[in-house]
Amino acid sequence: MAGRVVVITGASSGIGAALAERAAAAGDAVMLVARNEARLRGVAARCGKEAHVHPADCTSRLEVRRAVAAAVARFDRIDVWVNNVGQGITRRPSELSEEDVELMMRVNVHTALFGMQEVLPHFRDRGTGHVINVSSMLGRVPFAVHRSAYNGAKHFLNALTANFRSEMQEAHPGIVFSLVSPGVVYTDFGKNAVHGGPDSRSFPQGQSAEEVADVILQVMETRAPDVYTRPGSHDRVVDYFDQVGRDPA
């Protein structure tokens, strides 16, 4: 269904930038939200005339509120809001500081919480709307010990998404909350992690940002509640919990 108005946070690079280009190519109007205005304008130039740039720090509720208002003022409505802001960390749990945990929550949870809460009144007024939260496989299975607090933040985001979905289901069935969980994605995520870290492109069996963006586009069409971006991920999660949840012999 082309012709949607899609707001994408974290749109200056990686998955967000790829999604903006894919959505624009599909005929959607897009508003690109991130802190780096120069990068946003570069992405917008590749998206075409139906792309609007709105620089904002999504860790600020006020700036997210202003982004919602700007999108409605520019396009008259919002159909899809994509919470894509995120950052990793490279630190084992025994080494974590309070500041590490607070930062992971602020970037990976607060940004999505603000997005959901601030766009919700607009969706309620319209009786319809779609929130897509970009999570991670590490939010399901914390395989990467060095990502520690990031894993926990994504677990929190998963639960928050499910709770928003349940809250809205009865009174506002036209408002949908979807969760998308990529695995390794070949972006600058690893290099941009707090305390540094290995380049995500050095890991095997990863995906490109464009491949993940294509899955998110499908979620916009199907409004599926919970989607992994790689085949086999669901079985991997089930196997993990089957192992850790077994009764002692």
Tens digit of pLDDT per residue, the chain (249 long)? 569 999 999 999 999 999 999 999 999 999 999 999 999 999 999 999 999 999 999 999 999 999 999 999 999 999 999 999 999 999 999 999 999 999 999 999 999 999 999 999 999 999 999 999 999 999 999 989 999 999 999 999 999 999 999 999 999 999 999 999 999 999 999 999 999 988 899 888 899 999 999 999 999 999 999 999 998 888 888 888 888 877 665
**Predicted local confidence at residue 130, as pLDDT:** 98
For position 244, what pLDDT does the model report? 80
Decide: 139 and 151 in contact? Cβ < 8 Å: yes
CA nearest to 4, candidates 116, 153, 128, 184: 128
Please report whether residue 98 resides in a domain: yes
| Residues in the chain, overall count | 249
The predicted pLDDT at position 249 comes to 59
CA torsion sign for 161, 76, 220, 16 is negative
- Residue 75 maps to which CATH number? 3.40.50.720
Contact predicate 157/135, CB 8 Å:
yes
Containing structural domain, residue 156: 5-244
Q: How many helical (H) and strand (E) elements, i.e. helices and strands, does the chain have? A: 8, 7
pTM for the predicted model, two decimal places: 0.95
Does residue 209 lie in a domain region?
Answer: yes
220/172 Cα distance (integer angstroms) = 18
Residue at 116 is within a domain: yes
Long-range contacts of 46-53 (CB under 8 A, 24+ apart): 46/21, 47/20, 47/21, 47/23, 48/24, 50/24, 51/20, 51/24
Domain total in the chain: 1
**Helix boundaries (H) for the chain:** 14-25, 37-47, 61-75, 98-105, 111-126, 148-171, 209-222, 233-244
- The CA distance from 184 to 202, in Å, is 10
Cα–Cα distances (Å) from 230 to 2, 33, 194, in that order, read 25, 26, 26
Q: What is the DSSP string of 144-170?
A: -GGGHHHHHHHHHHHHHHHHHHHHHHH
Residue 249 within any structural domain of the chain: no
Measured in degrees and rounded to the nearest 5, phi and psi for residue 215 equal -65, -40
